[in-house]
Amino acid sequence: MDRPMKERVVGGARRVLRVVLALVVSASGCGGADATGLPVASRAPCTAGVARCAARIEIAPGRFVPSFQSFALAQGDSLVTDAVVVVHGTERNADEYFATMAEAAALSGRLQSTVIIAPRFQTVDDAPAVDEPYWTSNGWRVGDLSNSTGPLPRLSAYSAIDTILARLGNRTRFPRLSRIVVTGHSAGAQLVHRFAATSGVEPTLAGIAVRYVAANPSTWLYLGPERGRDGAFAIPAAAASCPDYDDWHYGLQNRNTFANAVATSLVRQNLVSRQMTVMVGTADTLTADLDVSCGANLQGARRFQRGRTLIEYMNARHQGHAHRLVEVPGVGHSSRGMYTSLDGRRALFP
């Protein structure tokens, strides 16, 4: 599942980030527009998970999700060339994920040219507004429809991300955008892997390369019933005692409404062909908040092993796939540790 404890930036690391961001702000100034009339990226981007960086995104007529944005999605920016959509973990702490991604972008020298969007997928515990859909604590990450007790129509968090990507692809708002990364850590990474398999928006984004970075999820989506054992992949002997091990979101059987609307052949094609970075911390070997259901355990004992095994599965069963493995040395179950590491930053900002 997700993080065992709050991940907060403290001490010297926070001071370094303040210095980096202060230099960016002081060099950039505020305001200004180019010949198109759009705001230019020389204005200071928003970098903190605070009210002035917050904006709601309309994902359906009259229906909104909260978010944090470094440049305004509705307004656009004429000099932005990259976008990162970062999805929070189980704590739904989009503010911290937003600040962490701003730090990673600043350390990579890409803060001025990157629009960062951090949506928040709420549960009823978050006291959503009457026009804001909300999900169960597991539902948003696996693509389930929003709760029937919330506003209608019921929507999947996956369709919300589709909408965000479509807005980023608006050439009137972001005329120079050429790259989008969709990323998440832990529960957010569970969303990213399944979203990549089921989203239909990528082919509509002409001239924009889309990549996916899934960091330290509890589980992955398998495209067939085979699971790994002793270096080989076959239907597991435990299948009889674990009859739902290949159901969505572990596999393709009994998919939910959003995923079932996509043909099985297209789900497979999408996940095989899309640019997916499987990013795992070599120290993510503990069990805190780990999915230990039988379906999850058939993917491996710990997150680090499960990521490696997925790549072995793709190599064995889906040759020519576009998954790649990035191992981040010495990092455990920490979104900040993953994203601000050298390997993490290279995966996000190559």
- In single-letter form, the type of residue at position 324 comes to R
Give pLDDT tens digits for 33-75. Answer: 444 455 444 478 999 999 999 999 999 999 999 999 999 999 9
Listed as ranges, residues in the chain with pLDDT below 70 are: 1-42
Contact 164, 85 (CB under 8 A): yes
- In single-letter form, the type of residue at position 329 comes to P
For residues 104 and 346, give the distance between their C-alpha atoms in angstroms, rounded to a whole number: 10
Residue the block writes with tokens 């995923």:
259
Return the pLDDT at 10: 36
Return the pLDDT at 21: 45
Per-residue exposure over 316-334, b if at least 16 CB sit within 10 Å of its own CB, e if not: eebeebbbeebebeebbbb
For residues 53 and 66, give the distance between their C-alpha atoms in angstroms, rounded to a whole number: 11
233 in the Ramachandran plot: left (φ > 0), alpha (ψ -120 to 50) or beta?
beta
Angle (nearest 5°) at CA 14 between 8 and 17: 125
Per-residue exposure over 166-186, b if at least 16 CB sit within 10 Å of its own CB, e if not: ebbbeeebbeebebbbbbbbb
For residues 185 and 280, give the distance between their C-alpha atoms in angstroms, rounded to a whole number: 10
End-to-end CA distance of the chain: 28
11-348, what's its fold? Rossmann fold (3.40.50)
For residues 198 and 46, give the distance between their C-alpha atoms in angstroms, rounded to a whole number: 31
**φ, ψ of residue 162 in degrees (nearest 5):** -55, -45
User: What's the number of CA atoms in the CB half-sphere (13 Å) around residue 170?
Assistant: 15
